[in-house]
Structure 1
Amino acid sequence: MTSKLDFDRNIFRYRSIDSLLGGHAELENQSIYFAPAESLNDPMEGLRRVVWRGDRITWRNLLRHYVICLENRITQALLHGDDETLDPNAISVFQTLDNAPTPQMRDFLKQCIQSVEQSELHATLLDFLANAEREVSVTELRQHLRLVHFHWLELIQKAMSDQGFMEARSSMEFDEAGISANLRAMQDLLPKLAEDHGESVFEAIFEVQEMSSAGIGLHTAFNNFENASNKKQSLIFDFPSEYLKCLLKLVYPPWYVACFSKRHDNVAMWSYYANEHNGCCLIFRKLGDPDQQNLRLKGARGFQASRGEQSRVFRERQDLALRSVDYTSEHPQLEFFSNLGRISQKDAMEGWFTDDDGKVSPLSSHLTDPTSRERWLGSHWDRFLPPLLSKHPDWQHEGERRIVLHDSLGIHDKPADRTFTYDYDSLDGIIFGMNVKVSDQVKALQIIQPKLVGRSSDRPFKLYQARYNSRTGKMDCFDLHGITSAPTLPNR
């Protein structure tokens, strides 16, 4: 039986047999895929408590940005079939008036904005937000956008049909005056509630509203299911929430992770990540000292271009940091308007901090003063990584370590460019799950054995078989001694 000391320099990666031997052929390709945030198993990973604290200029520009993105979303819907659901990550949050593809498109977006801004509901909502003088939570802002979304959707669609971009459609009744009156009444009531109960009452109020809206939305969608296609459901019900999620792309770049574990002996992990013990646990060799440990992988590093050719991604070996995951239910707070880190200073100033008369919001001081900007940039990027290395305490049994890639330049946009490879000097061995079929073990050995020829490490490559130890309640493993050098394995 192996002792824990045998694995002091190792890190483990659980995989299913299908991942190793199936379509992805991870064992043959020696590949490790870096998954995007939205595909991770814990939706709280990377979570930040985002708040908005703005003035009239920044709030007006956010509402304009919402109109621009909504117009783009309607255009996307026109290009999709009725049975298609719109991609929740494809909302064009980097679209602005200034980077519109044509002058005609810029003029039309201005027309949509003007149509919305002439409405009573827009004026009421802008007053509500501009006079809030407090942090507006994502829950509250989502509720406000849901409140106006259907009306603004109708206004933009009418503008599009007037221009011949889509067929005219009958408008539905909308009580703009009543909703505006309710919003003004809430604006008057909230200061009194805060005085009596503290500002924490705001979040409670909007959480109750959100639960009520969810029920009403489900009821409406159910009653109109026969007449609403998938893309219409996406456009009508999902857009406000999806917009706010995509809006955070303006703050930090996309990030991708490859997950490993300090443990090879956890029953739940064998069951969850290795397909009910039918998979394997890969044993990787860590590099570096205990305070800074790395894994050597080969993958996309940057762009290079030859004369007369388009830029292409180049790959090279890299020592990538293995970082420990912190298990906590606390999430750091992030203020949106002061953290627009993924757009240029020019775009931030023109698109978010300046009004039509050229007046600049005082909230832009971190960008306009050189000393403040340098200090802000440092603190902004210092806050990027910690939330990506945290999970809820319920996952603490995993003892996870992870490699994080972030991508401001689009190097890892394609799945192929998020797939890295290892060599057999980095792979020390494999543990077969206790339910792995002998036939699958043989297939794995047929792949492994020829690759060991090129292994330059003097450490022996080992194969282990997992078994449950009823005395300790953990998974043990025993060494399948000598099997990798057996000469009788059949040829592939």
Structure 2
Amino acid sequence: MELYRFRRVDNLLGGFDELESQTIFFSSREYLNDPMEGHRKIYWEGDSILWENLFINYLLSFERLLSVWVVSGEEREIVVESYLPISGGIDDLPTVEYQNLFNKIVTKLKGYESCSKLIDTLGKRLDPVSENELFWILKSLHPVIIYVANTVYLEEGLVNKYFFSEDKLAAIEDIMLRNMAKFASGEIGAKEHHELEHLRSEYTHRAYTNKIEGLINSSRKNKALVLQDFPILYLQNIQRLMYPDWYVACFMSTFHNSASWAHYGDNHSGACLIYRVEEDNDALFLNLRSGNNQGQDEKAKTRRLKFYPVEYSNDNRDVDFFASLGQLTTPQLELCWYSIGDIVSDRYESLFSDESRWRKNYWDMFYHAVTRKSLDWKPECELRLIVSNDAGSSGKCNGYTLKYDFRNLKGLIFGIRMTEENKIKLIVAIKAKCKKYGVKDFELYEAIYSESEKNVQRRKLIGLSSYVNC
């Protein structure tokens, strides 16, 4: 069985040297061409225990960044991903003194009737809370959290002033109560949901004009992050508690599409690699290694990776946040999310009474998201290999690189516009590889446009194929 992978010549022979190193690059989601790949429509639905623990996690996350800002100021830019998300709880704070300080913040926050009422109302709400709703809930709650943490810091001598005027708190609480009543009750329809999405976008982009007009001091980035931007940054990062980061290597079941050659094959001047893949029970597989040099790193782990056909659809499944915290350990789930003291959430038993069923549903939802692209991409006929950050590979900031056995590279197709110079370089490199690994059946082709088929076809280069194999 053959599968195809388009590459630029400078990927194969240039700085990445993928042909010589026999590597396949697995790209992170951020570098894929469809920004909606891996998108999940997340909702929050839980009792008061789950909601209280969510707000405690929010408070833990905020206090961590607040403490960094108080200590370091603007001396070094805060990289949010270095501190969030927080997977542990209050008991995981490093000292008893730190735990006592944080518990003092929690106690003060619970003293506000509006906060206690919010948790109780959300716990009784029948409809799930959307991401846009939760953003506005957190955005409305955030000034109160700032004030409470600021007050405790003042009492403990950690700071010497309020971050904003104390007399503003009454106005903040009034706004918060009015917002909370509507959000928490769920008394908003489709029109309001659309408006919330629009408002969230407007809020985000308002920062651009503020920076242009000098209303946000560009030298005070950490202050803006902690006091203004934190709610949206928290929402973005907390989702990392759900599923592992994932990386994909894209292949296709056909090489005939001219648009694919243009987009992925460097406007037809690149190459299409032909991989020999294994068939087993209607599935396709390829063995890959994480070692530095094939055959020289005996400890390198060989993995049999499955090809997942991409399904093209504009529909996304709804994902329950509280039921999808798969990156946490069982003790973390039990202590930090599904219980408060001796009281256990009503959802715990329904979710985890059958752990095997939960795991199956969890991974079904994971692969459903990472194997979907919108209908616009359907002509690609893509299959993909997928690795996640718990797969044991050495990860880079933008992806993984794994090695294949050269004997699994069946052939190569020169693009219609590939230069003679690049063809010669590839022929020389392939001949050396064939000699090194004793390959006698490597196939070289050139791409041609077929007037009869009205698409890209290939023509075998018999003489050159014999040349690289001898």
- Bucket of the pairwise TM-score, normalised by the shorter protein: 0.7 to 0.9
Q: 1:107 to 1:442 in 2, by over 3 A?
A: farther
Identify the range of structure 1 (219-228 vs 392-401) with the bigger mean alpha-carbon deviation: 219-228
C-alpha distance in 2 between matches for 1:226 and 1:185: 31
5 Å-filtered alignment, 1:52-451, equals 52-75=44-67, 84=77, 86-88=79-81, 91-119=84-112, 122-123=115-116, 125-153=118-146, 155-156=148-149, 159-160=152-153, 170-171=163-164, 175-186=168-179, 194=187, 199-201=189-191, 203-222=193-212, 223-289=214-280, 291-299=282-290, 314-356=299-341, 358-366=342-350, 369=353, 372-408=354-390, 411-412=392-393, 414-415=395-396, 418-451=400-433
Overall identity of the aligned pairs, in %: 26
Q: CA deviation at 1:340?
A: 2.3
Task: Give the drift of 1:162.
Answer: 6.1
Report the Cα offset of residue 467 of structure 1: 3.7
Q: Per-residue deviation at 1:391?
A: 0.9
Structure-2 residue corresponding to 1:3: none
Question: Helix, strand or coil for the counterpart of 1:143?
Answer: helix
Counterpart CA distance in 2 for 1:191 and 1:81 is 36
Shift of 1:407: 4.2
Residue 17 of structure 2 is aligned to residue 25 of structure 1: yes
The whole-number CA distance in structure 2 between the counterparts of 1:187 and 1:169 is 25
CA distance in 2, matches of 1:87, 1:362: 33
Cα 1:384–1:220 change in 2 (3 A) is same
Q: Which moved more, 1:478-487 or 1:39-48?
A: 478-487
CA distance in 2, matches of 1:263, 1:14: 11
Question: 1:384/1:457 Cα in 2 relative to 1: closer, same or farther (>3 Å)?
Answer: same
Decide whether aligned partners of structure 1 residues 110 and 189 sit closer, same or farther in structure 2, where only a CA change above 3 A counts: closer
Q: Give the partner amino acid of 1:446.
A: V
Which of 43, 54, 57 in structure 2 is aligned with 1:51? 43
Which stretch of the first structure deviates more once superposed, 102-111 or 163-172? 163-172
How far does residue 61 in structure 1 lie from its aligned partner after superposition? Answer: 0.9
Which residue type is aligned with residue 24 of structure 1? F
> Structure 1's 268 and 151: CA in aligned 2 closer, same or farther, altered over 3 A?
farther
Please tell me whether the aligned partners of residues 249 and 384 of structure 2 are also in contact (alpha carbons under 8 angstroms): yes
User: TM-score when scaled to structure 2?
Assistant: 0.85
Gaps of 5+ in 1: 1-8, 301-311
CA drift of 1:63 comes to 0.7
* SS, match of residue 264 in structure 1: coil
Give TM-score scaled by structure 1 length: 0.81
Q: Deviations over 1:17-41 (max 9, x none)?
A: 2222222211110101222333322
The residue type equivalent to 1:375 in the other structure is R
Q: Deviations over 1:153-180 (max 9, x none)?
A: 4544565576566785742578443444
8 Å contact 1:341–1:380 — kept in the other structure? yes
What do residues 76-117 of structure 1 show as CA deviations (whole Å, max 9, x unaligned)? Answer: 556696674725475132132122233333333334434444
Q: Aligned AA for 2:141?
A: V
Contact in 2 for aligned 1:120/1:180 (Cα 8 Å):
no
Q: Quick one: structure 1 residues 394 and 177, their matched pair in 2 at CA, closer, same or farther if it must change by over 3 Å? A: farther
Checking the alignment, whether the CA contact within 8 Å between 2:287 and 2:404 is kept in structure 1 is: yes
Shifted more, 385-394 versus 124-133: the winner is 124-133
**Distance in 1 between residues matched to 2:138 and 2:258, nearest whole Å:** 45
Contact map agreement 2:140 2:179 (CA 8 A) in 1: no
Secondary structure of 1:101's partner? Answer: coil
Q: For the structure 1 residues 189 and 236, does the alpha-carbon distance in structure 2 shift closer, same or farther, using more than 3 Å as the test?
A: closer
**What does residue 29 of structure 2 align with?**
37
Structure 1 match to 2:294? none
For the residues of structure 2 that align with 1:16 and 1:161, how far apart are their CA atoms?
59
- Whether the 8 Å contact between 1:434 and 1:465 is mirrored in structure 2 is yes
Q: Secondary structure at the match of 1:98?
A: helix
The letter of the residue matching 2:315 is: E
Partner SS for 1:315: coil
1:384 Cα deviation (Å)? Answer: 2.6
Equivalent residues, number: 461
CA-CA distance at 1:373 after TM superposition: 3.7
